[in-house]
Structure 1
Amino acid sequence: MYGEGMDHFDPVSAWAALLRTHAAVIPKVERALTPTGLPLTWYDVLLVVNAAPGRRLRMTELGEQAVVSRERVSRVVTELERAGLVVRQANPDDKRSSFTVITPEGRKRLRAAAPIYLAAIEAHFLSRLSAEECRVLADALGRVVVAEEADRIV
């Protein structure tokens, strides 16, 4: 069990626990979202776009902020566009780029799915941790994200 035998703790076990947690929890969150008709990748992209100023993001920004890999974000946006949940708008300041904009239908579907998503996260992740453990995890993993994103910019 995790946390036992800490006198022989191998730091790489933190990485293994992160991967195993992801593998155990993500399929359950995906299954919970199935009745909403929003796959987890769609939910993620809609959530990021909806939270952006003006509810729109350049594709490059979306690729940086979404949990979906940069390689997949374009495909996910195309799928969302076909479903009428986002539209692409030309960037008047840069003809080489475009914005992804959430539609009213996209916002409606996101709002309907949000309680299901949050309940799944609570049931399969947050309920297993104390508030302090959540804070420590968020701080520690946040440092990794900030460092890796800074490395990507350089």
Structure 2
Amino acid sequence: MTTRWLTPDEQRAWRAYIAANLLLEDTLDRQLQQDAGMPHLYYSILANLSEAPERRMRMTDLAERTKITRSRLTYAVTRLEKDGLVRREQCRWDKRGSIAALTDEGTAVLKRTAPGHVATVRASLFDHLSAEQVGQLEQISVQILRALQGEDAGPKGAGPDDLPWRRRSTPCP
């Protein structure tokens, strides 16, 4: 099999993407550690729970939504549980399943932290892009996401119609 090496243009784009991604994640982590004493991943867990019906989500759905393994999510939720920000509940219709629920204290931390987080995201990313570039960023990100998930990415520039962050969590009555 012949290796398809990156072209000079692809190499520059790849290196710029990696550098920007690493610096952005580091910037978000630093801001969230300073403002809330938690890494970006923990904030993402709280944010996803805050958007779920009744601020509750099955752990498997939460792992999929945050793009982490179930074991890594279990570790993070255990830490958030110790801090009183999340509680775990048994799923009544699936004894093997469990639910992560955002507590009132977790909601308060999220409300207190969100303005600084949004300001950091805006200052680090969106303030440097035109409206057209924001649309392009979304299209490119969706294309990459679908390819990595093994989904048919459709034509270049396909819209975000059924993306993980737009899906509803499976309820656990």
Superposed CA RMSD in Å reads 1.7
- The aligned counterpart of 2:74 is 74
Question: AA paired with 1:16?
Answer: R
- The aligned counterpart of 1:15 is 14
CA change 1:117–1:127 in 2 (3 A) is: same
Deviations 1:109-154 (A, max 9, x none): 0011000000001111111211111110111111221343355xxx
Contact between 1:38 and 1:113, CA under 8 Å: does it hold in 2? no
Number of matched pairs: 143
TM-score by length of 1: 0.84
1:3-152 residue pairs with structure 2 within 5 A? 10-33=9-32, 34-67=34-67, 69-70=68-69, 71-151=71-151
Runs (4+) of structure 1 exceeding 4 A deviation are none
Aligned equivalents of 1:36, 1:30: Cα separation in 2: 10
Aligned equivalents of 1:27, 1:148: Cα separation in 2: 23
**Identity of paired residues, percent?**
32
Q: Shift of the alpha carbon at 1:90?
A: 0.3
Deviations 1:33-90 (A, max 9, x none): 21322321210110111111221111110110015x2242111111000100000100
Question: AA paired with 1:54?
Answer: E
Question: AA paired with 1:74?
Answer: T
For 1:84, what is the secondary structure of its paired residue?
coil
Q: Give unpaired runs (5+ residues) of structure 1.
A: 1-7
Q: Give unpaired runs (5+ residues) of structure 2.
A: 1-6, 152-173
Aligned equivalents of 2:101, 2:51: Cα separation in 1: 11
Q: Shift of the alpha carbon at 1:23?
A: 1.1
More deviation in 28-37 or 42-51?
28-37
Q: Shift of the alpha carbon at 1:9?
A: 5.6
